[in-house]
Amino acid sequence: MLADLDNPREEARAWSPSSWKNFPALQQPRYLDPAALEGALVELAELPPLVTSWEIVALQEQLADAALGRRFVLQAGDCAERISECSSQRITNKLKILLQMSLLLVQGAACPVIRIGRFAGQYAKPRSSDDEERNGVRLPSYRGDLINHPEFTPQARAADPQLLIAGYERAALTLNYIRALIKGGFADLHHPEYWDLDWAQSSPMAGQYHHRIASVKDSLRFMENILGIRAGDTDRIDFYTSHEALHLGYEQAQTRRVPRRAGWFNLATHFPWIGIRTSSPDGAHAEYMRGIDNPLAVKVGVPTKLDDLLRLIDVLNPHNRPGRLTLIHRFGVEHVDKALPKMIDAVRREGKIVLWVCDPMHGNTRTTSNGYKTRSFDDIESELRASFDIHHGCGSRLGGVHIELTGENVTECTGGARGLSDEDLSQAYETEVDPRLNYEQALEIAMMVASKLASIREEA
């Protein structure tokens, strides 16, 4: 058959790590010095990778299990990591909250949980506008620490190619520390008390959390006594990294072949995702992602057209391999009831196998009267509950949750056990981008999800 020369994807069937350049690339920064950008990308391409192809393949297999209902995914972390916040305390706090949540989910789901951080590379952000205007002055928008700085000055907002290197190095430091902690037994299931956060002792959630964890410890001891083995190869506990594959030059730089394995891998992360703003099936992001062998995710929601989504699924997963593609839906509590069943039906009608994950954060963002970007805990919880019920009602399965959170004691989302109000947000509002659940709110969500998973199990 002749190639359709009006369609660049036909023409460019021979994918390469740079073939995305033949397609419209949204959300890319403008660099004033292209030679400096090129220099930074060449340097990046020569640095050692952050992850390995065998870890990526292992994750792909686990996600395939999740797509078939045998595992549950917890994907969580900051909206955006900050270069200035790469400290031991912040990294351990983030790891602690993820471990605590995952243990609660294991208990509720009664199946293994795949832990995936939004970390070690989550530095680039899509923005609704290229520029920001304040008091008649127009400057480029802040696009995350991989690109520029948040301060509203021309110097800070200029895209700086050296930040690509700095972000990559911070990602390496973060991952190195996480690997060392896990190898050193930090994630030992026998000692969940290692993961307690100091300030959380006084949390209204503490009692319930410790009660549930004690029951996990008891079950573990019971199994070990019966089987006569010690459970948990703790240095082999799986922790995977993910980030939005937004800056395509950065992603391309670590896209490689590896010895003794076919295909191409993005070795800067295990699990890259396409954000909702760059998810066109005809765009550069789809082109880049279709050629790599990492498992992929795509954010979908109110702006997603079902025809486009079906085309995108064909582009990204032409062989319909389970675990290859995860759809992370983020409709918002107001829209999920109407829109999600239609999406589930459309995907199923075409016989596509996807793993469904709910992001209850990004469809529920609002701005308070005093100018804080926030999300209400009730909305987040309601969208999650509705998503579980809708999937269940449609004969589908919600296979994971995607949450923006921090291990710090911030006040960015309203509600939760302490009943934070709009007025309380100013107490500890840190984010430059999206509002995150704090430690307590994140635990509360995990307990709710665990209960929901347990009740679905009991019904089945």
Task: Compute the residue count for the chain.
Answer: 460
Smaller CB separation from ligand PEP, 64 or 171:
171
Token pair, residue 99, equals 């471990």
Smallest CA-to-CA distance from 172 within 70, 267, 256 is with 267
**Any contact of residue 164 with ligand PEP (CB under 6 A)?**
no
Three-state DSSP at 375 gives strand
For residues 95-118, one letter each, b for 16 or more C-beta atoms within 10 angstroms of the residue's C-beta and e for the rest, the string is bbbbbbbbbbbbbbbeebbbbbbb
CA dihedral for 277, 65, 78, 416, sign (positive or negative): positive
**Any contact of residue 275 with ligand PEP (CB under 6 A)?**
yes
The residue range among 7-15, 271-279, 416-424, 450-458 that interacts with ligand PEP, by the rule CB under 6 A, is 271-279
**126: partner contacted, choices ligand PEP, Co ion, none (Cβ within 5-8 A by kind):** ligand PEP
**Any contact of residue 82 with ligand PEP (CB under 6 A)?**
no
Smaller CB separation from ligand PEP, 285 or 452:
285
**Any contact of residue 358 with Co ion (CB under 5 A)?**
no
Smaller CB separation from ligand PEP, 161 or 275:
275
**Any contact of residue 360 with ligand PEP (CB under 6 A)?**
no
Smallest CA-to-CA distance from 188 within 235, 229, 228 is with 235
**Cα-based angle 258, 263, 261 (whole degrees, multiple of 5):** 45
**Any contact of residue 126 with ligand PEP (CB under 6 A)?**
yes
Three-state DSSP at 389 gives helix
**Any contact of residue 197 with Co ion (CB under 5 A)?**
no
Q: Which residue in the set 9, 96, 299, 436 belongs to the binding site for ligand PEP (CB under 6 A)?
A: 299
**104: partner contacted, choices ligand PEP, Co ion, none (Cβ within 5-8 A by kind):** none
Residue 252's alpha-carbon distances to 22, 245, 257, 292, 335, in angstroms, are 14, 10, 12, 10, 35
Q: Which residue in the set 56, 73, 74, 79 belongs to the binding site for Co ion (CB under 5 A)?
A: 79
The residue range among 206-214, 250-258, 374-382, 426-434 that interacts with Co ion, by the rule CB under 5 A, is 426-434
**Any contact of residue 340 with ligand PEP (CB under 6 A)?**
no
Smaller CB separation from Co ion, 118 or 270:
118
**330: partner contacted, choices ligand PEP, Co ion, none (Cβ within 5-8 A by kind):** ligand PEP
Smaller CB separation from Co ion, 287 or 434:
434
169 contact partners, CB below 8 Å, separation of at least 6: none
**Any contact of residue 298 with ligand PEP (CB under 6 A)?**
no
H or E, element range at 34: helix 34-46
Q: Classify residue 3 by burial, with Cβ atoms within 10 Å: 0-12, 13-18, 19+.
A: exposed
* Residue in the structure block whose two tokens are 């969940």: 192
Q: Under rule CB under 6 A, how many of the chain's residues touch ligand PEP?
A: 9
Residue 225's alpha-carbon distances to 187, 190, 229, in angstroms, are 21, 14, 7
**Any contact of residue 115 with ligand PEP (CB under 6 A)?**
no
The residue range among 109-117, 219-227, 256-264, 433-441 that interacts with Co ion, by the rule CB under 5 A, is 433-441
The residue range among 26-34, 68-76, 270-278, 450-458 that interacts with ligand PEP, by the rule CB under 6 A, is 270-278
Smaller CB separation from Co ion, 379 or 434:
434
Q: Which residue in the set 434, 441, 445, 453 belongs to the binding site for ligand PEP (CB under 6 A)?
A: 434
CA distance 436 to 374: 8
**Any contact of residue 78 with Co ion (CB under 5 A)?**
no
Q: Which residue in the set 330, 375, 385, 436 belongs to the binding site for ligand PEP (CB under 6 A)?
A: 330
Token pair, residue 419, equals 């009943």
Q: 271 pairs with which residues across the strands?
A: 242
Token pair, residue 445, equals 């969500």
**Any contact of residue 436 with ligand PEP (CB under 6 A)?**
no
Helices (H), 141-283: 154-157, 162-183, 206-227, 248-253
**Any contact of residue 434 with Co ion (CB under 5 A)?**
yes
**Any contact of residue 157 with ligand PEP (CB under 6 A)?**
no
**71: partner contacted, choices ligand PEP, Co ion, none (Cβ within 5-8 A by kind):** none
**Residue numbers at the binding site for Co ion (CB under 5 A):** 79, 434
**Residue numbers at the binding site for ligand PEP (CB under 6 A):** 79, 126, 275-277, 299, 330, 362, 434
